[in-house]
Amino acid sequence: MSDFSRREFLKRSIASTVAGGVALTGLGRNAEASGAIPWGTAIDLTRCDGCRTLTQPACVTACRKENRRYFPEPIKEISNYWPQKKTEDWSGKKGLTSRLTPYNWTFVQEVQVEHGGKRHTIAIPRRCMHCDNPPCANLCPFSVLHKMPGGPVLIDHDLCFGGAKCRDVCPWGIPARQAGVGIYLHIAPKVAGGGVMYKCNFCYDRLRSGHAPACAEACPQQAILFGEKEQMRKVAHKRAKEIDGYIYGEKENGGTSTFYVSPVPFEKIDAALIKQKAAQPNPKAPGFPGMAVDIENFTETANGIAWSMVVAPVAGIAAAAGVAYKTMKGGKKDD
Amino acid sequence: MTEKIIRKKKITRHGFSVLFVHWAVAISTFVLIFSGFAQMPLYKRYMLDRVPGLSWVSDYSVTLSIHYWAAALLIFAMVYHIVFHSMRRDFDMVPRRGDIRESVQIIMAVLGWAKEPENDKYLAEQRLAYLFIGFTLLILVVTGIIKVLKNLPYINFSEGFMLWITQFHNLGTILIIIGIVVHLGAFIFRENWPMLPGIFTGKIDMEYAKRRHSIWYDRVFAKKR
């Protein structure tokens, strides 16, 4: 990061956020179409140390403080997801910071990885990657997730039904569910719906008012850099070149707004994370993402079939015209 | 009209194209409803995926692909239908003035409370059902295509627009289910049973056609009432 200081990034990011804010307020919700600047972050894993000297990482503290107002306040008696005998209630674990929960939208994982004959301790801040083509937003059955101008992927907490499909189609299983809160309580809570999903919102309110996300601003190591997305991509590549390292988040899931730079291959980090997860008391519990490399976007297969909907009407016209012509011209009669 | 008499007792009511479109629409719509409901976490919660052979129903990647293929078949059949009948100027199914009043009269007649009016090739209520189902399918196809476009990389519609499109798609699903239930519900009445073979073989009983679809029957035989 020799010539890309944090100060420079903040300067650039504030300038661009102001520009984005103007576009947002001046041009309304279609600002993206009118050219709102996509934001990004570059997370330098050679700098992040998980804030060892603090009781919890500064990014986690800042995130919790910033987003406290969105945290769920569920009803006291939460029913199971009938006929299943389970529910997802994190309200008794609001202080948990070792995974993603509805009350903790970012956390830091730490793994030990052998690479190049050296043992590396890698601390990894984790949260929503804000994908370029987010399957969570695309596939939400009620369209209550949306990729906003500038790139943040947001959940509408007022309309979310808590089916957790967004988590199932997210390659990292990021969104966290809280039962006993949300619109489903007013419809048929015993038989449909599961609560509300929560995840990092890229500090959208802060972006709109010209500020960097709370995690980026709070990081004492300048490990989380924020700015225009393309600038962040360049930073990540430059840093990767400097340390002969690796980038994660650029290609995964079809591209994201988050670029991790690591001195060790992400395959090794992923393997260590999988091992760590398997050793947990409940290995299947959500909120502890891996870092599988080159993950395909969930919509890719379906998008490959989309051409059939272009061919279908053309084929329909041709076939119908052919048959109708034949029947009208005294061929085989048919109606 | 190109209906032809097959034997003394049967008359052709539907040709190949009508049968093809009906069954292509029926099958694709059924698959779309099933795979559409699969887009919610319904089958997993209600453990349908634990039924042997149905583990795939809670796999969104499988059910989404099925939804796309079925949508392509539905679009093909609907376009075929519109083009085929437009070219032939064959609008027997299109609702006419007075169809609502007439369909009430038919229902009253089926219940034995009134005299049934003379019917054309289709009953007034069939024409109304066609309009309802056709219009609902159009809503579903148009909103569905927008949803398909939204899934493509680099295409991102505004938040409010997608919210409405999705609610219309979901509402359309409820309406089409109601339409199908009412459509099939018509066969609760014995009076409508003779129409059933027509949608499988294309042919219906001649005497039935003469009695209940007299306007059409007479036209087929070039008689005027």
> Tell me, what CATH number does B77's domain have?
1.20.950.20
**pLDDT confidence tier of residue A29, bands split at 50, 70 and 90:** very low
- Is residue B2 domain-resident? no
- Is residue B117 domain-resident? yes
Select the residue of B40, B71, B80 nearest A320 (Cβ to Cβ): B80
Cβ distance B125 to B218 under 8 Å?
no
Residue B77 to residue A306, Cβ atoms within 8 A: no
Structure tokens belonging to residue B184:
């099939």
Q: What is the mean pLDDT of residues A59-86?
A: 95
- Is residue B22 domain-resident? yes
pLDDT of residue A141 exceeding 90, the answer is yes
Residue B69 to residue A305, Cβ atoms within 8 A: yes
Q: What is the pLDDT of residues B104-113, one digit of tens each?
A: 998 888 888 8
Of all residues in chain B, what percent carry a pLDDT higher than 70? Answer: 95
- What are chain A's domains? 6-296 (3.30.70.20), 297-327 (no CATH)
Give the amino acid at B162.
Answer: M
Q: Quick check: A98 contacting B, CB < 8 Å?
A: no
Closest CA–CA distance from residue A14 to any residue of chain B (Å):
25
pLDDT score recorded for residue B9: 83
Of all residues in chain A, what percent carry a pLDDT higher than 90? Answer: 81
Q: Can you state the angle between helices A308-328 and B16-37, rounded to 10 degrees?
A: 160
Minimal CA–CA distance to A94: which of A79, A74, A109, A80?
Answer: A74
Global pTM exceeds 0.80? yes
Q: What is the pLDDT of residues B19-73, one digit of tens each?
A: 999 999 999 999 999 999 999 989 999 999 999 999 999 999 999 999 999 999 9
Q: Could you give the CA distance from residue B89 to residue B99 in angstroms, rounded to a whole number?
A: 20
Minimal CA–CA distance to A81: which of B51, B50, B46?
Answer: B46
Closest CA–CA distance from residue A181 to any residue of chain B (Å):
18
- Is residue B225 domain-resident? no
Closest CA–CA distance from residue B76 to any residue of chain A (Å):
5
- Is residue B41 domain-resident? yes
Q: What is the pLDDT of residues A53-67, one digit of tens each?
A: 999 999 999 999 999
Q: Which of A104-108, A309-313, B88-92 is most confident?
A: A104-108
pLDDT score recorded for residue B87: 93
Q: What is the pLDDT of residues B130-158, one digit of tens each?
A: 999 999 999 999 999 999 999 998 888 98
pLDDT score recorded for residue B8: 56
Give the amino acid at A237.
Answer: H
pLDDT of residue A106 exceeding 50, the answer is yes
- Residue found by looking up tokens 């061919």 in the block: A311
Q: What is the mean pLDDT of residues A95-104?
A: 96
pLDDT score recorded for residue A27: 32
Query: Mean pLDDT in chain A?
Result: 88
Chain A interface mutation, best of B76, B157, B164, highest count of A Cβ atoms under 10 Å: B76
pLDDT score recorded for residue A294: 85
pLDDT of residue A332 exceeding 90, the answer is no
Minimal CA–CA distance to B155: which of B142, B146, B164?
Answer: B146
pLDDT score recorded for residue A328: 84
Say how many domains are in chain B. Answer: 1
User: What residues does A115 pair with on adjacent strands?
Assistant: A118
- Is residue B134 domain-resident? yes
Give the domain range for residue B160: 10-220
pLDDT score recorded for residue A330: 65
Can you give the three-state secondary structure of chain B, one letter per residue? Answer: CCCCECCCCEEECCCHHHHHHHHHHHHHHHHHHHHHHCCCCHHHHCCHHHCCCCHHHHCHHHHHHHHHHHHHHHHHHHHHHHHHHHHCCCCCCCCCCCHHHHHHHHHHHHCCCCCCCCCCCCCHHHHHHHHHHHHHHHHHHHHHHHHHHHHCCCCCCCHHHHHHHHHHHHHHHHHHHHHHHHHHHHHHCHHHHHHHHHHHHCEEEHHHHHHHCHHHHHHHCCCCC
Closest residue in B to A133 (Cα–Cα) = B153
pLDDT score recorded for residue B156: 85
